[in-house]
Structure 1
Amino acid sequence: MEITIDLLRNQPRFIETCARWNHESWGAARGIAATDILDAYRELADPENPEQAFVAFSGDTALGTTLLIECDHPEYAHYRPWLAALYVQPEYRRQGIARALIDASMTFARERGDQRLFLYSASPEIYAAMGWQVVSRFIEDKTHYFLMNIELQTNSDQPNS
């Protein structure tokens, strides 16, 4: 199976699917209407929007998605930008799709001049294995979360081979 990662704005046929995944995974539990999430994903497809969505797909099948947004947690609004809402369909997990989505987001952020990227997760070991560092810990709704970041090296920062 050939997997492609692209900006959602270039693949608008997947907007509704990605919005549905977000609503089912996080939005519904937070009381956010599915229509509001769909509207937000349509805004993410605007090329002028600094926030962007990425989609992994094979042919006409969406496999996963992630967001590159300005802020994903109001208590940490001074950190930016954020990797958020990373989702891969269960049957396609453990095939490198999440890592490819993260890499695409990091490349996009680096190319626009960002120096670091942030996220929060209840499963820091997944991201630590990719080089992310824990910045702090916090508890929300009885769940332990980890605020993490990663430095975005530019080509001039990388050692010569």
Structure 2
Amino acid sequence: MASLRLLDLRCCRERLATIASWHQLEWQQQDLSERTRQLTTHLETEAIPTTLVALSGDCAVGSVSLVRYQRLGGYPASVWLANMYVVPELRLKGVGSRLVAGAEAEAARQGVEKLFLYTHDQENYYKKLGWHSLRQHRLAGRPATIMTRTLDEARNQKACG
């Protein structure tokens, strides 16, 4: 695999359609046009919501988003790691952990002290990356684990560039 770079979606807008189609294939609760519309909001500001794209050479190979949910899982408005996706042929090769670390660093850079996520089936994966389980909850009609991670302010790098 060529060296892996993480870029903010604002720096590689031409990847938006690819990322929206990945999300549609992986999570089918919304149609493609709604997913595309939501991702387009990640281009509008240098704050959250934002999406990081993993590039290997010139190929997009994964993405992850930071979003603000108002009351997901009974928690007050907070920032969540969401839409974590790695192309199937590169799973278990470190791309996902690089994306998570990049999202954590970007959140810390923006002053976020605590991140949340939910997962239907990857609790052990996120635990290996330092996340902690908070509780079980039903989301999208399925059981999910809500997890959190307190961010270390030492991670203070810019994602774009």
Q: Give TM-score, length-normalised by structure 2.
A: 0.87
Q: Which moved more, 1:74-83 or 1:48-57?
A: 74-83
Q: What displacement does 1:132 show?
A: 0.5
- Kept in 2, the 8 Å contact 1:79–1:118? The answer is no
**1:1-150 correspondence to structure 2 within 5 Å:** 1-26=2-27, 28=28, 30=29, 32-71=30-69, 74-122=72-120, 123-140=122-139, 143-150=142-149
Unaligned residue ranges in structure 1 (runs of 5+) = 157-161
- Counterpart in 2 of 1:155? 154
- Kept in 2, the 8 Å contact 1:51–1:69? The answer is yes
Q: Give TM-score, length-normalised by structure 1.
A: 0.87
Change (3 A) 1:16 1:73: farther
Q: Distance in 2 between matches of 1:77 and 1:34?
A: 28
How many residue pairs match? The answer is 153
Higher Rg:
1
User: Secondary structure of 1:82's partner?
Assistant: strand
- Counterpart in 2 of 1:159? none
User: Secondary structure of 1:146's partner?
Assistant: strand
> Which of structures 1 and 2 has the larger relative contact order (alpha carbons within 8 angstroms, sep 6+)?
2
